[in-house]
Amino acid sequence: MSLQVFSLVKLAKSICVQTDNNEMLNSLTFKADYITKAETVESVARANAIVALITNNKALFTNIDANDYLVTNTAITLYDTWKDVPEMSRKNKKSFGTATYKQALKDGRACVRNMKQMIEAKYTLSNLDLVKGFHTVIRIFVPGVRHNPVNVVLMDPTTGLAVQIGAIQRTTKKGKIVSFNVTKKGVVPFKTHKLGDTDYTTNVSGFKDQKFTVTPTKGKKITITVNLTKS
């Protein structure tokens, strides 16, 4: 709820800056925890008061449309409805601010993917810089997407080819062993991998188990090749 309300505030403040409306800008300046630090009933009251201030001056805020108000008021209503439900799970609490715009994010990403296909089809040969530039933009600005892709290749030094049967394993903090299998393409793919160092051990029949470390690069795809040793 708080995030959605402050998203609306951010839109309103951008107009205040453009029009030098310092009085309204000051009225819309709150601390980040202004809503969340209050008790549940008070937090709803504060959220409604902020939205009412913006709504009552909507003629000023030409960049805010009806759907923006609808999404924000829905988020407040959802929180107000659910705040008194006992023993609510953390998962449900977390969904308050995002439930109303999950579909919008999904539709937006689909549009970006379609645009990517069209740009690649039309400009890959004639304007490669445009294609690369578009790839950079969508990697940075698509909401919620922070991919750190990694491919692990297990190489048979005798044949010089990647093995197609095998796995890599890591041990969790609780001592559980998690396995990731090699695909038919000869890689262990991670669409995204947590940042920092992660230790793995190879598990391929006919080869010794070998330890290696994966250290992803944020936002950039990397390939790690592990040269196996015959057992």
Map out the domains of the chain as residue ranges. 2-97, 108-141, 150-227
CATH 2.40.30.110 fits 150-227, yes or no: no
The whole-model pTM stands at 0.41
Q: What is the DSSP string of the chain?
A: -HHHHHHHHHHHHHHHHHHT-HHHHHHT---TTTTTTS-HHHHHHHHHHHHHHHHHTTTT-TT--HHHHHHHHHHHHHHHHHTT-TT--HHHHHTTTTGGGHHHHHHHHHHHHHHHHHHHHHHTTT-HHHHHHHHHHHHHHSTT-----EEEEEEETTTTEE-SS-EEEEE-TTS-EEEEE--TTS-EEESS--SS-EEEEEE-TTB---EEEE--BTTB-EEEEEE--B-
Residues 6+ apart with CB under 8 A from 88: 82
Q: What is the pLDDT along the chain (231 residues), one digit of tens a residue?
A: 888 899 899 999 999 999 999 999 999 999 888 998 888 889 989 999 999 999 999 999 999 998 888 889 888 888 877 655 554 454 555 555 555 566 777 777 777 788 888 888 888 888 888 888 887 777 655 455 568 899 999 999 999 999 999 999 999 988 999 999 999 889 999 999 998 999 999 999 999 999 999 999 888 899 999 999 998
Q: Do 149 and 192 touch, CB atoms closer than 8 A?
A: yes
Q: Name residue, tokens 């999904």.
A: 106
